[in-house]
Structure 1
Amino acid sequence: MSTTFAAKKAKILQQLAVPDASSTDIQPGDCVDVGIRELVDEINKLDTLATTSSCAGRFAVYLEGKDPNSSQSSLGEGDGQWLFISHDPLPLSGNGSVAPMLGLSDHTELSVPSSAKGVRWVRCKFEPMFLHVLSSSLESAQKIHTAALQSGFRESGISSISTDNLRTSTAMVAIRTNDLVFDNIIGYEGPDGRLIPMVTEAYMRILIELGNQKFQANKARTQQFQNALLASFGPPQAQYSGPCAWEPIEQRRVRMREDDIRRKADAQRTTEDSARSSQ
């Protein structure tokens, strides 16, 4: 492991040494979401890996930004605004309106703009877990990439490879999937700045219910990835130091073969010593 990677990892771990993110945060932050904290901790215990950014998965409502050089609304975040974010399933009990919770005016004011030109749309999204991991070697990068693909994060990839020679290569691994994503327009910003819903209360509740289903699938997939990762690398504190420590199966097989050879050699020497002493 290069000193450059070790220095980067030390800085990352220092930045991560903050309280867990709250699921009620309106603005996305740099701290780790509660739902992914265990996975992030497990990865950062491995000498050759360091997480750089992450999200446990989220249900969010977002007002698009506006490109000042265009009459069209901007699909990027830019000067847009997060209206609502949750990293956990949302309760649907009660008969209260969900539109205000999502940042919109009351749903009784349904309307649509007369034209799509220049409109700032309100979008309701579900985005699954994503993770960026810096690796100190291409071998480790390939291991985590394989674990991601096997767990359903099919859009994962390896990038930003830098190397002086093969032994000191570093790479960034992005763990992600588009399989669970949805993105729906549910409202728009009116001329007076009010955020006006375009869909009914029942439709918004269906989106929340769908989001809750996505949360469950996302949780299962994330756990599958964590299991595959640990199976590939072994438990984070699995440096074998004796019979009582955790030992990877291949390492155990090698040790048992060596022990068997050693026992046979000892037995052969004992036999030879006995033969000489009896003469």
Structure 2
Amino acid sequence: MADFRRWKEQRLSRADGSRKGSVDEPIEGVVRLLNGHERFCTTSSCSGRLVVLEQPPLPPPAEGTTGFEIQKQNCTWLMVTHEICTIEKVLTALQRATDDAIFKFEPFVLHVQCQELQDAQLLHKVAIEAGFRNSGITVGRKGKIMMAVRSTHCLEVPLSRKGKLMVNEEYVDFVLQVANQKMEENRRRIDRFYCTLQFALENQHHSSSLSFEKTEKNNAMESYRRKKSTEVQKDECHSSGKNSGLESDYET
């Protein structure tokens, strides 16, 4: 426990290394709630976003690689927002594209290191109940326990080829409406996740307190029973001794 606490303090004292440099406003409460609990530490997060990005045509992946690393390195972000978006912003971003452009919706994602496996299991249950059904737990070789909150309601649509828009504006607007609906559902799931997590942590603390109180009460009762049993045994021995003396005197 001491090692986890020390690691957590070091982790949270670092500067935010994300592109934005801070936690997204819609999930500040979630991150604060988890980091305020001694058994959890968030390592990365995104509240959900709408993105227009471009990337040059990819060469075949080298042997032993997937090609994902190259794809990620060569992406150019033309637009990113964590809010509901308008068609004007998307079209403006697409006008700046010179390579293949893609429109994406990426839902809420959160990675949390947990002190014990049971903590990760609690968090996993909360995530599933909130609608993040792609969530999972991983345990590293050195025992590092990570819980990832993920969802499957993503969206990825190619819109332009070598800078040329391949669809009409009506279709772009349709895709955007779908993405905005997914963003709204994403926010509802975040709210459910926060409320369910808050209740689970409070209930866990309450259950632990009740368990502790019950244990203490049981220990006290057991101690009382042992004490009474000892007193009874002493009384019986004392009474037995008196009887023996009387019988001896009588016999004499």
Take 2:89 and 2:141, find their aligned partners in 1: how far apart are those partners?
A: 52
Gaps spanning 5+ residues in structure 2: where?
A: 62-66, 225-252
Which of 133, 158, 175 is equivalent to 1:185?
158
> Which amino acid in structure 2 is aligned with residue 9 of structure 1?
K
Q: What's the offset of the Cα at 1:15?
A: 2.7
Deviations 1:76-123 (A, max 9, x none): 32211111100011246xxx68511x23259xxxxxxxxxxxx95211
Rounded Cα–Cα distance in structure 2 between residues aligned with 1:156 and 1:188: 34
Question: How far apart, CA to CA, are the structure 1 residues paired with 2:60 and 2:141?
Answer: 37
Partner residue, 1:64: 55
Radius of gyration: which is bigger?
2
1:204 Cα offset (Å): 1.4
Q: 2-side partners of 1:65 and 1:234: how far apart?
A: 50
Counterpart contact for 1:2–1:136, Cα < 8 Å = no
SS in 2 for 1:234: helix
What is the aligned partner in structure 2 of residue 12 from structure 1? 11
Counterpart of 2:40 in structure 1 is 49
**In the alignment, is the contact (CA less than 8 A) between 1:97 and 1:201 conserved in 2?**
no
What do the CA deviations read for 1:166-200 (whole angstroms, capped 9, x no partner)?
xxx5301111011x2111011122xxxxx221111
C-alpha displacement of 1:124:
0.4
Q: CA RMSD in A?
A: 3.2
- Cα contact 2:94–2:101 (8 A) shared by 1: no
- Distance in 2, matches of 1:251 and 1:29, equals 40
Which of 194, 205, 209 aligns to 1:251? It is: 209
Residue 191 (structure 2) pairs with residue 199 (structure 1): no
SS state of the match for residue 32, structure 1?
Answer: coil
Change (3 A) 1:105 1:78: closer
Residue 232 of structure 2: aligned partner:
none
After the TM superposition, which residues 82-231 of structure 1 pair with which residues of structure 2 at under 5 Å, given as runs?
Answer: 82-91=77-86, 98-100=90-92, 102-104=93-95, 120-162=99-141, 169-178=143-152, 180-189=153-162, 195-231=163-199
Structure 1 unaligned blocks of 5 or more: 22-26, 107-118, 164-168, 190-194, 240-247, 266-279
What is the distance in 2 between the residues matched to 1:130 and 1:146?
15
Tell me the SS of whatever aligns to 1:150: helix
Q: 8 Å contact 2:79–2:90 — kept in the other structure?
A: no
Change (3 A) 1:145 1:65: farther
Q: Distance in 2 between matches of 1:57 and 1:204?
A: 20
Aligned equivalent of 2:75, options 74, 77, 80 = 80
Letter in 2 for 1:45: G
Q: Structure 1 residues 148 and 159 mapped into 2: Cα distance closer, same or farther (>3 Å)? A: same
Scaled by the length of structure 2, the TM-score of the pair is 0.72
Q: Secondary structure at the match of 2:84?
A: coil
Greater per-residue helix proportion: 2
Identity %: 25
Quick one: distance in 2 between partners of 1:216 and 1:151?
Answer: 14
| Contact residue 65 and residue 81 of structure 1 kept, 8 A | no
Per the alignment, residue 237 of structure 2 pairs with none
